[in-house]
Chain A
Amino acid sequence: MEFTRRDTLAMGLGAAVLSMVPFRASAAVDAAVEAFTGGAAMADTGIDLTAPEIAENGNTVPIEVSAPGATAIMVLAAGNPTPGVATFNFGPLAGSQSASTRIRLAGTQDVVAIAKMADGSFARASSTVKVTIGGCGG
């Protein structure tokens, strides 16, 4: 069978776009967010959160946050008994506004990162990390 660039365009099959249903945040998460943002609205761009889809080891999950222009980034593990993970503060001399660390996750949950920008606005990103008992690799 053959495909040409023209066929390619003609078919125009779209990419699958999937979204996860966000996990219900606990009261502790709401309180931490409220304390950090003062209830301000949060943009969903301007911050990148990199986390594995499935944790290789729930006891030490590598994550990375990056928000150019941020003065602080707060990280929450929304499903942990104590959701607070870290707040990274960036001074005016910081070369880049990014940080990476490893966190412990009690189970499958959302990791949430919120950046406070220099102009006082906020941006939010979240990622579901699955913690599984593992087993069957095809």
Chain B
Amino acid sequence: MAASALVGASGFGNWARLAAQQALTQDQLLQFDTYGNISLIHITDIHAQLKPIYFREPEINLGVGTNKGQVPHVTGADFRKLYGIADGSPSAYALTHDDFAALARGYGRVGGLDRMSTVINAIRADRPDALLLDGGDTWHGSMTCYKTAGQDMVNVMNALKPDAMTFHWEFTLGSERVNEIVEGLPFAALGQNIFDAEWDEPAELFKPYKFFERGGAKVAVIGQAFPYMPIANPGWMFPEYSFGIRDEHMQEMVDEVRGMGADLVVCLSHNGFDVDKKMAGVVKGIDVILSGHTHDALPEPVQVGSTFIIASGSNGKFVSRVDLDVRDGQMMGLRHKLIPVFSDVIAPDPAVTRLIDDQRAPFKSELEEVIGQTDSLLYRRGNFNGTWDDLICDALISEREADIAMSPGVRWGPSILPGQDITREDIFNVTSMTYGQAYRTEMTGEFIKVVLEDVGDNLFNPDPYYQQGGDMVRVGGLGFRIDISKPQGERFSEMTLLKTGEAIDPAKSYVVAGWASVNEGTEGPQIWDVVESHIRKQGTVSVTPNTSVKVVGA
């Protein structure tokens, strides 16, 4: 990283200087000296955020094994130091968590597909044949997306004219709906690891790669969908499909496209950053990995061997531009910029604004209804409970009369500033999904530990190929100590029922309320209704700092 950070300081300093002048302009955000003969535009993990939002980056993002202390497992002041970012600067606001509420008031919202469109159009003005590549998690995450089964996002994304896309949450629309959309997509739907479950052969509908002729070179884009879809999400919703990392098949595909004359091999990936890093060391011959899934935003590429990995954040907050010099079947050089989409600085593309408003119009009054207010900053992202999660767990415990609450450690969900209204749309933004039923069940203390250990290993297994890329399951009513350096079965201890202060008894049964079960036939009210009812009763919510999770071994 040291060498990389040194180079990055010069590339990034220009942006940081703008902070001092308090003169952030669109031209400066988009400034880029066009380089080489090919441009890639990477967007990923938009999670259906059509409109500008606030999004606080994680405070806690722990790496394990060889990734301990390596990006993206660097946060806050350490992150700013690594990349030479000044405190309080626009880049500090965009990339780190500290002083978030104060900086958000100064720098405003981020994202919005109409702003992203402006950025994309500006890059296309420099290089008309730039490739726009969408890393997936696009048709999921908002009320309008849920109510239209992804159609709102499909309509708006089509206007942005992507060249290819890969997938994750899209599959939770159910395979019938996914097939229907993909069959009509005006661009390539890629996934070399999307297999037919019955025959264990590549699925017909999703091609492994696509060739593009750009700048006199042959560019092969290979898709890599999220490997653990049927495990991390309900497999019963798309039983015809099988996934997995399948790096041996990835190698076959790389060799195949090289054999067909590819001058540049790009992998459009939804593996998650650490999995991509490992895969880059295993599979030979990939020039660039456009990395999605784990929602990391890195101002510089990370290099493994001769592969460059680009991480472009989430929720519409960033667009990555990657210019490449490709000659004689070789990538000779790369210039990269992680462009933050400051919504108040970058002008919206009016045609896309209109299209977005059209999608929202049928739901406008539902979306905008104010349910309550918040005194606290509400955010989710981080390895352990965020304040949004604490609020959701409180809602589950009180509305469902439970001892303990569990809320999934997903990485999507925008933030709400102190003093802001909470609308119905805001609640959907952190809860929307096709399997949002809030279950209520009994679990023994022993089983609760099994659940924590299982999820903990999906996050802290030292081998990234055994990680699923989510954060730790959020809990309410339960305290615990986690030693992330221990193996599965030994990480969790000191489990305490918070309402009595007593140790969790392995033999005793507890009432547990949760949501987002991957099991078919889960019953209960939708989680957004549970949260809405709870917030209505509170009027104004205040979330006290959560001190019930003790983390060691980091």
Which A residues are within 8 Å of any B CB, using their own CB?
1-5, 7-8, 10-11, 13-18, 20, 50, 52-57, 62, 100, 108, 128, 130, 132-138
Contacts and interface: CB of A to CB of B under 8 A. Distances in A.
A137 B168 contact: yes
A138 B293 contact: yes
B243 A100 contact: no
Interface in B65-81: 65-67
B229 A138 contact: no
Contacts of B229: 137
A42 B47 CA distance: 50
7 contacts: A3-B303, A5-B333, A15-B281, A53-B244, A56-B231, A135-B455, A138-B294
B470 A2 contact: no
Given A15-B304, A17-B281, A137-B469, A132 B333 contact: no
A138 to B, nearest CB: 4
Contact of A18 (B66, B200, B248, B516): B66
Contacts of A11: 3-4, 303
A4 B334 CA distance: 6
B335 A1 contact: yes
A2 to B, nearest CB: 5
Given A1-B300, A13-B305, A138-B468, 19 more contacts: A1-B8, A1-B337, A3-B7, A3-B334, A15-B281, A15-B282, A16-B66, A16-B304, A17-B66, A18-B65, A18-B66, A54-B244, A55-B231, A56-B244, A130-B461, A134-B454, A135-B518, A136-B408, A136-B458
Contact of A5 (B3, B66, B67, B332): B332
A4 B333 CA distance: 4
Residue among A1, A2, A18, A62 having the largest count of chain B Cβ atoms under 10 Å: A1
Interface of B: 3-4, 7-8, 10-12, 35, 65-67, 168-169, 197, 200, 226-233, 235, 242-245, 248, 272, 277-278, 280-282, 293-295, 299-301, 303-306, 308, 330-337, 408-412, 450-451, 454-455, 457-458, 461-466, 468-473, 488, 516, 518
A135 B232 contact: yes
A134 B235 CA distance: 10
A108 B461 CA distance: 13
Contacts of A14: 281, 305
Nearest to A10: B3
A136 B332 contact: no
Contact of B471 (A1, A57, A138): A138
Contacts of A133: 450-451, 454
B200 A62 contact: yes
Given A54-B468, A136-B471, A1 B278 contact: no
A13 B466 CA distance: 23
Contacts of A52: 244-245
A104 B450 CA distance: 21
Nearest to B407: A136
Given A1-B7, A2-B35, A3-B308, A134 B232 contact: yes
B455 to A, nearest CB: 5
A9 to B, nearest CB: 8
Given A8-B303, A57-B230, A137-B410, A1 B455 contact: no
Contact of B235 (A2, A8, A16, A57): A57
A133 B457 CA distance: 11
A35 B552 CA distance: 46
A133 B226 CA distance: 18
A136 B466 contact: no
Contact of B11 (A2, A20, A54, A100): A2
A3 B409 contact: no
A56 B301 contact: no
Contact of A54 (B67, B231, B472): B231
Contacts of B333: 2-5
A16 B278 contact: yes
A52 to B, nearest CB: 5
Contacts of A132: 231, 454, 457-458
A13 B66 contact: no
A103 B457 CA distance: 23
A20 B463 contact: yes
A15 B463 CA distance: 13
Nearest to A56: B230
Given A2-B11, A16-B277, A62-B200, A135 B465 contact: no
Residue among A130, A135, A137 having the largest count of chain B Cβ atoms under 10 Å: A137
Contacts of A138: 232, 272, 293-295, 409-412, 468-471
B380 to A, nearest CB: 11
Contacts of A130: 457, 461, 466
Question: Closest 6 CB pairs between A and B?
Answer: A15-B281, A137-B232, A1-B11, A136-B470, A138-B470, A138-B411
A126 to B, nearest CB: 14
A14 B332 CA distance: 20
A13 to B, nearest CB: 5
A62 B35 CA distance: 46
Contacts of B278: 15-16, 18
A2 B334 contact: yes
A62 B450 CA distance: 26
A4 B67 contact: no
A1 B462 CA distance: 31
A17 to B, nearest CB: 7
Nearest to B229: A137
B243 A56 contact: yes
Contact of A4 (B227, B245, B332, B408): B332
Nearest to A2: B335
Nearest to A48: B248
